[in-house]
Every structure is written in structure tokens, then in C-alpha cells.
Amino acid sequence: MERLFKLKQNHTNIQTEIVGGVTTFLTMVYIIVVNPAILSAAGVPFNQVFMATVISAVIGTLCMALFANYPIAIAPGMGMNAYFASVVATQGLSYQVIFGTVFLAGIVFIILSLTTLRETLIEAIPPSLKFGITSGIGLFIAFMGLKMSGIVVPNEETMVAFGDLHAPGTVLTLAGLFITLILMTWNVPGALFIGMVVTGVIGFFTGQLSFHGFISAPPAPVFFDIDISGVFSNGLYTVVFAFLLVTIFDTTGTLIGVAEQAGFMKNGKLPQAKSALMADATATTIGSMFGTSPSTAYVESTSGVAAGGRTGLTSVVVAILFAISIFFTPIIGAIADLSAITAPILIIVGCFMMEGLARINWKSFDEAFPAFAIILTMPLTSSIATGISIGFITYPLLKLVSGKGKDVHWILYLFGVIFVLQIVFFPAH
């Protein structure tokens, strides 16, 4: 175990890694319920998506653990599942054809991951954008926690407003938040995980958390229910490109964010980047073969990192729990339905990820504004990919007009143009 995951070298131990894995799993387990719900609305059988979600998560996360040794979990991405459903609806085609586009995007993804292009991309991103991406993801997941818990609610006049503090779920969230904050202040090991357990216990005794059964037989998986020929006959090349583009930069942004928080970045570079990116590409390809939308590295991995997870052992724990989850769907459904258990963690982790703001040169406008644009856009559009797009567009533009164009890596100009085309012609929803 020590030799495989280098626990001492990463200043961690088995117990801490287990706590990190459990914490990450509990903060992202909602995808097992949400992903099938979204794709089933597009006509894909619920049970098929459920099994595909688990399979892609287990395979991708294990690849991340064994080949990259990072505490980063992979599963079908939020946003891309909604885009999948919207493509099925707008194109008027079968979901099998759209799974074909995901499969082809995954294959291209794998090919790119075998090259140095994606590693070059990570190294080419300037510090201001990296810190902006990290902080933007922090605000994104914190805002997600506020919305999930009802602390922030939609408002027609102001977009959002303060929620109803008399609502049981909101009260439970606030109780869990303050309990966890106290544990964090006292430097209690595994404070995030303990906070979730205490919140769950309170929810159970207040009648908000209930279980209708505990164990059920897993559904049978469906393999290769896709139509690749339909992709070519219907000319869905832009859809393939859209899936590829969003998956690449969603994952790249998340990898940077989690790696910065965990201290993995070395001189602006991410060691084992190729292996980490290949894990995501593999999960996307295999997931499409079983029936789910593209996979991505999960921002919720930051909760496991905050709980102390530093190696692939954390990811192994996540993968094992995903695999076991197919037998405990009633329990998982109940936990996923009570957002008050995970919302406090997302809010607190969001705070942790703001540290990089102090390292941005705010006195240099051409460095500051692109970072600001990313930080502003991610939570307001609920899209990591959109935030990255805005950053990649504004950074080279401002550098160019300020006479510093030669300081920008050529790949930033290339993707700046690509992102403009993507936003204009096929934005991801």
C-alpha cells in the first residue's frame, strides 16, 4: 500500500485517505440519482443510465488512482448530461445516435491524451488564469451548496434572494454548517466527514432523513446501445466537437483547481498530467458504451482533499463505494435527496479554494480582469467550462492590445478563437 500510493511521501496515512475517500463520495453521490433522472427525460432507460454512471465512475476513478495517484474522482459531469438531453430534444434523433457522438468524442479524447497537447495546455495557462479557475470553482461549488440547501433561492427581480430560514432543510443545513465550522476551528481530524455524519443523524431524528429499504438487487447493465453510423449520416460533427471541447476544459479546469488546493502543482506544471487526463478520456469512452454522457473530474474531490486525502488511495475508496452503491440504492437515494448533508461541505470547501486570489497581480489589469471574469462567470452561469472560455478569450486579447502579445503561449490564441466559435455557434448548456 505504501509503495503503491507513496503515503509517507505525501504526508498521509491509510485512515486519513479512507476519510478523504468517504467524504468525496458522499459529496458527489448525488450524481447516481441526478444523472439517470436527466438522461431518462431524453428517453434513455433510468436503470441503464444508473449502471452506466456507476461503471464509468468506478473505471475512471480507479484509473486516476492507479496511474496518476491523485485523490480525484471521475464520474459523468453535470452540465454535459443536460447538454446531451438538449441535443436529443433539438436534433430529433434517437439517444443511441447521440451516444455515438459521445463515443467518438471519447476516442478523440484518448488520442489527444496520448500526445503532449493537453499537458502543454496546462503548462501554458498563466498563473492568473490558474488561480482564477481555482477561485471560480470555489465560488461555483459554494453557490451550488447555497442553492441546494435553500439558503439562496431564485427571485424574479434580483435573480436570487435569501431563503426561508423556517424551512426544515435550510435550518438543518445551517445547523450542519455551524457544527462543521466549529469542528474545523478546533482542528478536529476529518471534521468535514464528522460534520456530515452529525447532520445526517440530526436529519434522521427530525424526520427529514428516512430510509425505505436498505438493499436491492442491481439492474443489469446494457452494453453498446449506440449508433455510430448515425453520427456520420446526420453530420453531427459539431456535436462531437462540442462534447470534446467541454469535456477537455471542464476536466482540465477541475484538475488545476484540485491540484492547486492539494499542492500538486510544481512550477506551474501538473506531474502525471497525462495519466490523469487519460483516466477521464477512458471513463468518457466506456461510459458512452454503457449509456451515459461524458465523464469529468469532479470538483467535489476538493472536499476529500480538504479532509486530508492526498493520494490515489482516496480515489480507490471512492471507486469501491461507487461499486458497492449498486446494492444500496435505497440508502443512496435517501442521502442524495437530503442536500443538507452535503451542502455545508460545498460551502466550506468553496472558502478553501479562494486562497489563490491573494496570488493574482490585481495591479496589472491585463492579468486581473481575465481572472475576475472567470471568477464572476462560473457561479453565475453554473458552468466551469463557460468560465474557462471567458478567461481564454479575454487574456490573450488584453495582452495583445497592451503590447504584450509575445508573452502569451500560441495555444492560448488558438483556443481563444475556438472558444469564441463555440460560444457563438454551439454553447454548452
Mean pLDDT score, 261-279: 84
pLDDT in tens, 199-252: 989 999 999 998 877 888 888 899 998 999 999 988 888 788 878 877 887 788
Q: Which residues contact 302 (CB under 8 A, 6 or more apart)?
A: 137, 138, 141, 257, 258, 261, 349, 352, 353
Residue 187 located in a structural domain: no
Note the pTM of the prediction, 2 decimals. 0.74
Do 331 and 236 belong together in one domain?
yes
Q: Residue 65: which of 4, 108, 147, 156 has the closest Cα? A: 4
Q: Work out the percent of the chain whose per-residue pLDDT is above 70.
A: 97
Do 283 and 403 belong together in one domain?
no
Do 238 and 373 belong together in one domain?
no
Mean pLDDT score, 402-416: 91
Do 334 and 360 belong together in one domain?
no
pLDDT at 360 over 90: yes
> Can you give the C-alpha Rg of the chain in angstroms?
21
Residue 399 located in a structural domain: yes
Q: Residue 201: which of 217, 179, 223, 222 has the closest Cα? A: 179
Phi, psi (5° rounding) for residue 152? -120, 130
Residue 205 located in a structural domain: no
Q: Would you state the pLDDT for residue 379? A: 86
| Cα–Cα distance, 5 to 60 (Å, whole number) | 17
pLDDT in tens, 133-169: 888 888 988 888 898 889 999 888 888 899 998 999 9
DSSP letter for 68, please.
I
> What number of other Cβ atoms are within 10 A of residue 185's Cβ?
9
Among 280, 306, 338, the domain boundary falls at 338
Q: Would you state the pLDDT for residue 429? A: 45
Render the burial of 50-82: b for 16+ CB within 10 Å, e for the rest: bbbbbbbbbbbbbbbbbbbbbbbbbbbbbbbbb
DSSP letter for 221, please.
P
pLDDT at 77 over 60: yes
Mean pLDDT score, 280-305: 93
Do 398 and 325 belong together in one domain?
no
Q: Would you state the pLDDT for residue 291? A: 95
Residue 10 located in a structural domain: yes
How many domains is the chain partitioned into structurally? 2
| Cα–Cα distance, 18 to 24 (Å, whole number) | 10
Question: Burial, 352: exposed, middle or buried (Cβ in 10 Å; 0-12, 13-18, 19+)?
Answer: middle
Q: Residue 114: which of 335, 273, 264 has the closest Cα? A: 273
Q: How confident is the model at residue 336 (pLDDT cuts 50, 70, 90)?
A: low
Mean pLDDT score, 334-357: 83
Residue 178 located in a structural domain: no
C-alpha cell at 281: 478520456
Lowest mean pLDDT among 133-147, 171-185, 303-317: 133-147
Lowest mean pLDDT among 70-79, 142-151, 317-326, 330-339: 330-339
Q: Would you state the pLDDT for residue 427? A: 58
C-alpha cell at 389: 472560455
Q: How confident is the model at residue 270 (pLDDT cuts 50, 70, 90)?
A: confident
Q: Would you state the pLDDT for residue 172? A: 96
Residue 13 located in a structural domain: yes
Q: Would you state the pLDDT for residue 241? A: 80
Lowest mean pLDDT among 94-103, 183-192, 303-312, 365-374: 183-192
| Cα–Cα distance, 61 to 319 (Å, whole number) | 6
Among 338, 365, 382, the domain boundary falls at 338
Mean pLDDT score, 370-394: 87
Q: Would you state the pLDDT for residue 426? A: 60
Which of 239-253, 268-282, 310-324 is modeled with the greatest confidence?
Answer: 310-324
Do 396 and 287 belong together in one domain?
no
Do 109 and 248 belong together in one domain?
yes
Do 61 and 99 belong together in one domain?
yes
pLDDT at 333 over 70: no
Do 389 and 252 belong together in one domain?
no
Mean pLDDT score, 2-25: 89
pLDDT at 428 over 60: no
What mean pLDDT is reported for the chain? 87
Structural domain boundaries enclosing 410: 356-425
Residue 211 located in a structural domain: no
Do 224 and 314 belong together in one domain?
yes
Mean pLDDT score, 125-129: 88
pLDDT at 91 over 80: no
Q: Would you state the pLDDT for residue 1? A: 72
pLDDT at 323 over 90: yes
Do 323 and 393 belong together in one domain?
no
Among 295, 312, 338, the domain boundary falls at 338
Do 387 and 331 belong together in one domain?
no
Residue 70 located in a structural domain: yes
Mean pLDDT score, 82-89: 80
Mean pLDDT score, 50-71: 95
